[in-house]
Amino acid sequence: MARHSSTVSVTLKLLLLLFLFRFSFSEIIFEERFEDGWQSRWVKSDWKRSEGKAGSFKHTPGKWHGDPDDKGVQTSGDAKHFAMSAKIPEFTNKNRTLVLQYSIRLEQDIECGGGYIKLLSGFVNQKKFGGDTPYSLMFGPDICGTQTKKLHVILSYQGQNYPLKKELECETDKLTHFYTFILRPDASYSILIDNRERDSGSMYTDWDILPPRKIKDVNAKKPADWDDREYIEDPNAKKPEGYDSIPKEIPDPKAKEPDNWDEEEDGIWRAPKIPNPKYKGPWKPKKIKNPNYKGKWKIPYIDNPEFEDDPDLYVLKPIKYVGIEVWQVKAGSVFDNVLICDEPEYAKQVVDEVLANREVEKEAFEEAEKVRKAREEEEAQRAREEGERRRRERGYDRRYRDRERYRDRYRRDEL
């Protein structure tokens, strides 16, 4: 028993060493939990400020949360633009995996607005960072009304922005959700929400950046001997003898001549016709599997002469900044847990760590909803009471005016 325990202990130690060895070669390029000192890393932009259209960011855990000490930055000010950015150690994703991850909680009824994040390349004047600033990657939710619940993944290639062709939906409830984008050196990608894969694929097929590798051969024609009949008539089938002489209808064997039938007046009585149960319709040979069936013919694909591979398709321009730049009708989104690294497993750990408090956050949200609904009902009750009071006052004034009018008329009649 002691020997078995020792073996298990050695195995666990080896697994731990392998785990640590793996992470020793990974890099956390930037991680922001918005703890004390975050303002020294982030620059709030003056974009739209002179027009009075710039909102602000509050450092807060939000109205409901899983941990009161876990603060993020919350958009503040309705119908405003919000922009701020942080300079990060310059890095390239060439020959390495890129992981971009952050969390957002939409505490407000956003109505219309974004909740995405951007990676920026080249020099950026952070005080002027705004919607026109070029970016290398934009990722995250964009909501407008009940119809638009889009999850954006826009990549920049040679100065042009390319959106993901797939229509992906973001989360729209009022709890914290993590959005993770993983881009690998083979140009494959994965999109996760709360550590669950929402989508995956390849840059070659899911963005219209390069022409497709293969195209349909427009000159191709189905071969003359291509047999696409899955079933055929049995060539050995033979029509049963006498089949064609079977009548469609026969006299009803249960019918009886009426007692009051008079042949001299009514003619010879004949039984009414009924469908013949032995009649099966025109004879057709039975169907059998076609031994020469080749399947449905499809237009073949050929190499696209316009396709020119770019082995660095996945490589973004060297990243130097991360930024939040959104416009919202209703403010109140809490951004937090921004992470840029090259190890998906570490990103997964961060999500698990934060969402461990999900039930606490849910309870806080449900309690806040109860308070909100009670307050709204109280306000509605006050409004009803005020309306009733005003109706009574208007009714009293009307009765008072009518009484004075009749009194004046009575006095004039006496005179």
Q: Distances from the Cα of 281 to the Cαs of 149, 238, 272, 314, 383, in angstroms?
A: 57, 15, 21, 66, 78
What was the pLDDT predicted at 108? Answer: 94
Angle at 406 between CA 401 and CA 411, to 5 degrees: 125
Per-residue pLDDT of 92-107, as tens digits, reads: 999 999 999 999 999 9
Q: Which two tokens stand for residue 356?
A: 């461990």
Q: Name the phi and psi angles at 182, rounded to 5.
A: -120, 125
Could you tell me which residues are beta bridge partners of residue 98? 183
Q: What is the pTM of this model?
A: 0.75
CA-nearest of 20, 81, 77, 7 to 50 is 81
Res 7 pLDDT > 60: no
User: Which pLDDT score is estimated for 16?
Assistant: 56
pLDDT confidence tier of residue 373, bands split at 50, 70 and 90: confident
The closest of 329, 292, 267 to 77, measured between CA atoms, is: 329
Reference 98, options 181, 192, 178, 214; nearest CA is 181
Judge whether 361 and 65 are in contact, CB under 8 Å. Answer: yes
The answer, yes or no, to whether residue 397 has pLDDT greater than 70, is no
Structure tokens at 149: 């619940």
Tokens 């509050």 belong to: 58
Residue 195: Cβ-neighbour burial (10 angstroms; 0-12, 13-18, 19+) = middle
Q: What's the Cα-to-Cα distance from 383 to each of 154, 253, 374, 378, rounded to whole Å? A: 48, 83, 14, 9
Q: What are phi and psi of 171, to 5 degrees?
A: -80, 150
Closest CA to 346 of 13, 25, 12: 25
Q: What is the mean pLDDT of the chain?
A: 90
Judged against a pLDDT cut of 80, whether residue 401 lies above it is answered with no
CA distances from 401 to 348, 371, 390 (A): 76, 45, 16
The whole-number pLDDT of residue 76 equals 97
For the beta carbon of residue 14, count every other beta carbon within 10 angstroms: 10
Strand, coil or helix: 247: coil
DSSP state of 245: G
Here the tokens at position 279 are 């009649």
Say how far apart CA 412 and CA 415 lie, in whole Å. Answer: 5
In the numeric block, the tokens 């606490």 are attached to 360
Residue, of 258 and 12, whose pLDDT is higher: 258
Q: Give the pLDDT confidence score for residue 388 in this predicted structure.
A: 84
Burial 203-238 (b: 16+ CB within 10 A, else e): bbebbebbeeeeeeeeeeeeeeeeeeeeeeeeeeee
Q: Torsion-angle region of residue 327: left (phi > 0), alpha (psi -120 to 50) or beta? A: beta
Output the pLDDT for position 249. Answer: 92
